[in-house]
Amino acid sequence: MQTDSRIVVRPARLADGRELIYFDDADTTLPPERAVDERELDPRPVTAQMRQDALTGEWISIAAARQNRVFLPPADLDPLAPQRPGNPSEIPSVYDVAVFENRSPSFGPQSATDAPSADALASLRRIGLERTLPSVGRCEVVCFSPEHEGSFGTLSRSRARTVIEAWAQRTAALSALPGVEEVFPFENRGREIGVTLPHPHGQIYAYPYVTPRTERLLAAIDAYGPTLMADLLGHERRGPRVLLAGEHWTAFVPFAARWPIEVHLLPDRHVPDFAETTLAERDELATLYLRLLRGIDRLYDTPTPYIAAWHQAPVHERRDDVRLMLQLTSPRRAADKLKYLAGSEAAMGAWIGDVTPESQAEALRAAIEGVEA
């Protein structure tokens, strides 16, 4: 993959052996030295267990250690802030962007012992009763800023570019781990989504299987043909729901949006994941993505909760068919109303939209107009 030499990467380790990587902005003011993590930490939890749902074939990770994670701490006990007296947080030094292994992961810390193979993928898809496997893989936290509050949309353009570089480099690194089948960068924003830390951050999951949502996409590609994603993007670019179009990326409200606010953002050429984007594509994305997020926040007087999900191609299959895609969704259907998943959506997966995608696209375009990154 291409790496941006302007953004310096500084690897380190936490006191319990977890990996910590600092990504310094191109225009950083930080010195190169980083403090050592001198905490005394308990041993890491054992790797969780996956159980297969025989009715769907889906794998469920039972990660009981996550019950003890921090919940809405005060600013002086922020676990993602730089360490200082009275706050023995996860990051020893002041930073621009920091990535580290989650202390209470859903997948890992154990890695697979065997190299991936077609037989391994076929075995994961086989259905049986009371099938279990270790939840191998990796869960990483991506801290966007040392500030206590904020989100990706509140970052400077330089900092946004650093986060995107971290996504690209960590996608490449995690894809190379034994047993990893899919890599998923994402950001949860807002208490309404269930966020337990207001600190501006996202996460990256490295799954030991191809996720159910991607399996559904692969089935759709099989039914339509390998040009599905290219054809869909070309159709949307000519339609009424486009929000932003740059030299390399296009954002639009999808034709069959499920959520009151739903936006998809794709590269204009086929790119399977962040690791295979060019530096020019990452540069433009830093600007367009900030404009998009800030526009969404202009819809109402208060910040809008969302899940920003970066879907990437599976690591070992169908990389010529599946294109990198952001799917940003929000349950906010009015200034003081949320969409809750009730019987039809939650139980049956049969969605009912609250607003037309065309009217929401018009409102989003008006909100984005005039926003600068």
Query: What is the pLDDT averaged over residues 184-191?
Result: 96
CATH number at residue 304: 3.30.428.10
Asked if residue 228 and residue 204 are part of one domain, the reply reads no
pLDDT of residue 65: 77
Query: What is the pLDDT averaged over residues 232-260?
Result: 97
Asked if residue 282 and residue 195 are part of one domain, the reply reads no
pLDDT of residue 217: 98
Q: How confident is the model at residue 89 (pLDDT cuts 50, 70, 90)?
A: very high
Q: In this predicted model, what pLDDT tens digit does every residue of 69-83 receive, in sequence order?
A: 777 788 899 999 999
Asked if residue 252 and residue 184 are part of one domain, the reply reads no
pLDDT of residue 114: 63
* 46: containing domain: 1-209
Asked if residue 253 and residue 150 are part of one domain, the reply reads no
Domain count, the chain: 2
In sequence order, what are the residues at sequence separation of 6 or more whose Cβ sits closer than 8 angstroms to the Cβ of residue 55?
A: none
Phi, psi of 327, rounded to the nearest 5 degrees:
-120, 105
Q: Which residue among 201, 248, 264, 270 is the active-site one?
A: 201
User: Does the model's pTM come out above 0.85?
Assistant: yes
Asked if residue 176 and residue 269 are part of one domain, the reply reads no
270 is catalytic: no
Query: What is the pLDDT averaged over residues 365-369?
Result: 96
H-helix segments, the chain: 118-125, 157-175, 212-224, 228-237, 279-297, 348, 357-368
Q: In this predicted model, what pLDDT tens digit does every residue of 262-309 receive, in sequence order?
A: 999 999 999 999 999 999 999 999 999 999 999 999 999 999 999 999
Domain termination site, one of 182, 209, 236? 209
Asked if residue 79 and residue 194 are part of one domain, the reply reads yes
Averaged pLDDT score across all residues of the chain: 95
pLDDT of residue 115: 60
Cα–Cα distance list, 152 to 14, 149, 194, 244 (Å) = 25, 11, 17, 18
Q: In this predicted model, what pLDDT tens digit does every residue of 302-353 receive, in sequence order?
A: 999 999 999 999 999 999 999 999 999 999 999 999 999 889 999 999 999 9
pLDDT of residue 125: 94
